[in-house]
Amino acid sequence: MANCGRRTEIEFSIAIRVYFQDTDAGEVVYHGTYLNFLERARTEWLRHLGFEQHQLKRRFGVLFIVRGMELKFVRPARLDDLVDVSVAITQVGRAQVTLAQEVSCGDATLVRASVNLACVESGNFRPQPLPKEIGAAFSNATDTNKPIPTG
């Protein structure tokens, strides 16, 4: 069992243990499972910024949907590994935000992702400008985040 530890150069990350359900027959993390890991980190990052997922809809009338995603698989995670999944803002637009995400194990990068999220109205899924409070939180986060290279 590898204890992959936290990386100090990443501003926000969460640790996720790899369970049997996350793996294929070879006890290697199934490629689609990384999407769940990335989503979980984004949800916890939003919570860290002060925004619960249900609050986005109730308080602001918006949701964030994945508009685009690019993944690069570098090396595998295995059963019982403790991986870190990080989030950093690379770009904020009027109605969208682009994030760099990374799954790592110690100093080893396992997966790199660039994720573009669109802010949409919760009822009709039409693009909406970021609510001011959320935009301000994103701006503050970009002042302290160190983006992850996605190349």
Domain contains 117: yes
Q: What is the pLDDT along the chain (151 residues), one digit of tens a residue?
A: 444 443 333 479 999 999 999 999 999 999 999 999 999 999 999 999 999 988 899 999 999 999 999 999 999 999 999 999 999 999 999 999 999 999 999 999 999 999 999 999 999 999 999 999 999 999 887 765 444 333 3
Domain contains 106: yes
Q: Which CATH number does the domain housing residue 30 bear?
A: 3.10.129.10
Domain contains 3: no
Domain contains 1: no
Q: Structurally, how many domains does the chain consist of? A: 1
Give pairs for 135-139: CB < 8 Å, separation 24+.
135/92, 137/49, 137/50, 137/51, 138/49, 138/89, 138/92, 138/97, 139/92
- Catalytic residue (one of 24, 81, 84, 143): 24
24 is catalytic: yes
Domain contains 151: no
Range of 68's domain?
Answer: 12-144
What is the C-alpha to C-alpha distance for residues 110 and 13, in angstroms, rounded to an integer?
14
